[in-house]
Each structure stands twice: as C-alpha cells, then as structure tokens.
C-alpha cells in the first residue's frame, strides 16, 4: 500500500534543520504485515530526543530511514499468528521490542532485549523483516516503529493494547516519555514513602518523571537550565525548582537525570544525598565524558543506576500508567506543547534542539468515515 511519511535522508545534518532540511515528506510503499506483525493506522506520533539524535548524528542509524518511535494508533490488519489483538484496537507503540527469550529479557526490564536491540540497530523489525521501500529501494525502520507516517507495520512485540477510553494523544506519550521518565521512577529509583525526588532535565521525559513521582505522592524538585521549563515543572506541582547553578547545598535521596549531557549527570550526582540513588536515563553523545568522585561514592554509600527505557516492561508498565491517568493522577496531556504536521518536522527538530518545546505531536487526520 502507499503511505506518506517523513524520511531522514542523511544523518548528521547541520542545524538549523529548517535550512538543511534532512527530513523529506515522501510517498512510500508499505508491504502487508507478515507472520507475527500487524498494520497500524497511526493516530498520533510524538517527537522525541531519540529522533533528534538520529538527525544530528549522535546516534548512528542506517539511512534513508522513516523516523518516529513514540506513537499510538488503530489496528487495521493482523498477520498470521497474531491472535490476541483485533482490528479496531488502540495500541501504544514502543521502541524496544522484547523477544521474551534472551538473557536481557530475563532481567525483568533492567537490560534491553538482545534481539530487539540488534534489529533496532539494523533498522529492521524484530527478527529482521523490512516492510518499507521507496521507488523500489529499501527504507529502514526506526526502532521497530517508524511512526512519522500515516500507517506502520510493526511486530506484535512492539505494541501494547490500551482501552479505547485512553485518548490517542495520551496513549502515544505513554510509549516513550512516560515509559522512560516514569519507568525510571518506579523501576530504577524505587523511592520510599516520604522520599523527595529531584529531576534534573525537564524536557518531555524529565517532566514525565515529575508527573509520575507526584502521582505516587512524592515531593518533587525540578532542575533545568531553561527558565520556561522550571515554570512548567512548577505548574505541574514541583515544590521547588532551580537553575543548576542555584542548587547550592540542596540535596535529595532520589535524583533522576533526564537531560542527556555530561554536565547534567554531574549535577545530578552532586545533588544526591548520602546513601541516595542517582538514576540516569538521558542519552548523551557517544563521546561525552563526566567526572565524579569515587571516594564520595564509597564514603557516602551512593548508588548510580543507568536506566534504558525506564527499565520498563511495556506490557506491565503501560497499563499501570494508563490507570493512573484514568484516575486523574497522571495528567500527561499537560506535556503537550505543540501539535504539528509532517511537513513541519524540520522546524520542530529545531525547536526541540533549542529547548523551546516539550512534546510536539503529529496528529494524523483519520480517513473519511473512520469512527473516532
């Protein structure tokens, strides 16, 4: 079938992307779903730093690639062997499929799936399949999803069904921003009752961590170098907010770093109380280096945890977050800063890179006559 999507033609483009225009909106061919796969009509796709990192070259991926990994949509067609979903179901797409059989999958979310990571790096679906092409030439999949398009074929392991009462815009955010930021809180940090949670880096993932910590009843401190993001954290319910240079002796037993740069990581470590835990979920440039004190780690009995995708099991954690939203405790829609179209993506990448946006959503117009 013919689809329309935003293809990254080359990685490592120079900013501003509005001028270099690494993304082009193209007509592509999408093959039907194979065994264990499904066709999804994309309703909403979010723009995330993991997309930006492929555009600017911090994450090396094969190109041309149809980007987009945070999304929700409606099941349209099932491949052979998919028996637990039905056409019309709303699903959240997640960017790390889990095979369920490898050593990584045996860790309960702490380590990524080995097969899923390999397919993501290769630009294929789980198991090595490729369903995208343009003018007869292959186009690579992004993190098993490729959601910057009106339709996607994905592996069953890349989706989690949610009930129809979860709006598409909310569902999309559950698949990356909330799964990563919120997962870091519930799976990696595991704050005890009464613990204050500090979040360093208040983009979409960081603010999702703020929301989940608040939903669980914790006092929250927000830290960021952008005043508008401090205002956003305060509006969501953070008790205190600081620029990094204003922290002074402010400390917390749980500190989550969600900025993805070396300075933020060092700030988070310094701001962790003796006996406390620093959780880093940000993805810095591959050559980034930080300096910390080993003596401090030993003398103060500190713990530093790396958490990829919030150490989450999507099938376990997305229903939990959906229920928190349903109860009115997790207003993730407050993370939405803009709604855009595919042809605005290059400008949107600039807004993300410059810290001018939280979560920008591409909202796809449903086909005429489709029930919403």
Q: Is 6 helix (H, G, I), strand (E, B) or coil?
A: strand
Q: What is the pLDDT of residues 152-201, one digit of tens each?
A: 999 999 999 999 999 999 999 999 999 999 999 999 999 999 999 999 99
285 shares a domain with 220: yes
Q: Are 159 and 193 found together in one domain?
A: no
Same domain, 76 and 125: yes
Q: Is the pLDDT of residue 21 over 90?
A: yes
Q: What integer is the mean pLDDT of 46-71?
A: 95
Residues with Cβ within 8 Å of residue 44, at least 6 apart in sequence:
71, 72, 73, 168, 169, 171, 172, 361, 362, 363, 364
Residue 335 lies in a domain: no
For the domain that residue 204 is a member of, what is the CATH number? 3.40.50.720
Mean pLDDT of all residues in the chain?
Answer: 96
User: Nearest-CA neighbor of 331 among 205, 208, 163?
Assistant: 208
Please say if the pLDDT value at position 216 is more than 70.
Answer: yes
How big is the chain, counted in residues?
372
Q: Does 263 lie in the same domain as 133?
A: no
Q: Domain check: are 36 and 105 in the same one? A: yes
Looking at 311, 332, 353, the residue that finishes a domain is 311
Task: Please give the average per-residue pLDDT across 122-134, as a whole number.
Answer: 96
Encode pLDDT of 305-348 as tens digits. 999 999 999 999 999 999 999 999 999 999 999 999 999 999 99
- Same-domain check for residues 67 and 105: yes
**Same domain, yes or no: 50 and 140:** yes
As a whole-number percent, the residues of the chain with pLDDT over 70 amount to 99
One domain for residues 211 and 230:
yes
| Residue 34 shares a structural domain with residue 133 | yes
pLDDT at 371: 60
Same domain, 284 and 350: no
Asked whether residue 153 is assigned to any structural domain, the reply reads yes
Instruction: Say whether both 148 and 210 belong to one domain.
Output: no
Give the model's pLDDT for residue 285.
Answer: 85
Cα 232 to Cα 235: distance, rounded to the nearest angstrom:
5
Q: How many domains does the chain have?
A: 2
Phi and psi torsions of 260, nearest 5°: 80, 35
Q: Please indicate, yes or no, whether residues 50 and 171 belong to a single structural domain of this protein.
A: yes
pLDDT score for 369: 62
φ, ψ at 105 (rounded to 5°): -65, -25
Which CATH number covers residue 66?
3.90.180.10
Residue 124, domain extent: 2-175+341-363
200: enclosing H helix or E strand? strand 196-200
């Amino acid at each position: 079938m013919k689809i329309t999507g935003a293809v990254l033609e080359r990685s490592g483009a120079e900013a501003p992307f509005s001028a270099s225009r690494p993304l082009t909106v193209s007509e592509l061919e999408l093959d039907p779903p194979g065994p264990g796969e499904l066709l999804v009509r994309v309703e909403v796709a979010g723009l995330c730093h993991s997309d930006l990192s492929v555009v600017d070259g911090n994450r090396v991926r094969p190109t041309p690639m149809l980007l987009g990994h945070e999304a929700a949509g409606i099941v349209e067609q099932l491949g052979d062997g998919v028996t637990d979903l039905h056409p019309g179901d709303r699903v959240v797409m997640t960017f790390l499929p889990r095979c369920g059989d490898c050593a990584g999958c045996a860790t309960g979310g702490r380590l990524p799936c080995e097969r899923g990571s390999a397919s993501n790096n290769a630009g294929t679906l789980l198991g090595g399949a490729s369903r995208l092409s343009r003018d007869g030439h292959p186009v690579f999949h992004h993190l098993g999803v490729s959601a910057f398009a009106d339709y996607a074929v994905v592996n069953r392991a890349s989706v989690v069904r949610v009930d129809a009462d979860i709006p598409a815009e909310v569902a999309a955010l559950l698949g990356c921003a909330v799964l990563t930021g919120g997962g870091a809180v519930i799976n990696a940090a595991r704050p005890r009752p009464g613990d204050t949670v500090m979040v360093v880096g208040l983009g979409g993932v960081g603010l999702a961590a703020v929301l989940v910590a608040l939903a669980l009843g914790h006092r929250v401190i927000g830290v960021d170098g952008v005043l508008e993001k401090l205002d956003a954290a305060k509006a969501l319910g953070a008790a205190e907010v600081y620029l990094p240079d204003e922290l002074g002796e402010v400390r917390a037993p749980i500190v989550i770093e969600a900025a993805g740069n070396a300075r933020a990581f060092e700030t988070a470590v310094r701001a962790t109380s003796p006996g406390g835990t620093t959780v880093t979920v940000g993805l810095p440039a591959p050559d980034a280096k930080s300096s910390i004190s080993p003596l401090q780690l030993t003398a103060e009995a500190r713990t530093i945890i790396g958490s990829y995708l919030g150490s989450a099991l999507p099938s376990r954690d997305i229903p939990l977050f959906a229920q928190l939203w349903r109860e009115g405790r997790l207003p993730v829609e407050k993370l939405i800063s803009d709604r855009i179209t595919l042809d605005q993506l290059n400008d949107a990448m600039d807004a993300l890179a410059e810290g001018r946006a939280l979560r920008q959503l591409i909202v796809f117009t449903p086909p005429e006559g489709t029930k919403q």
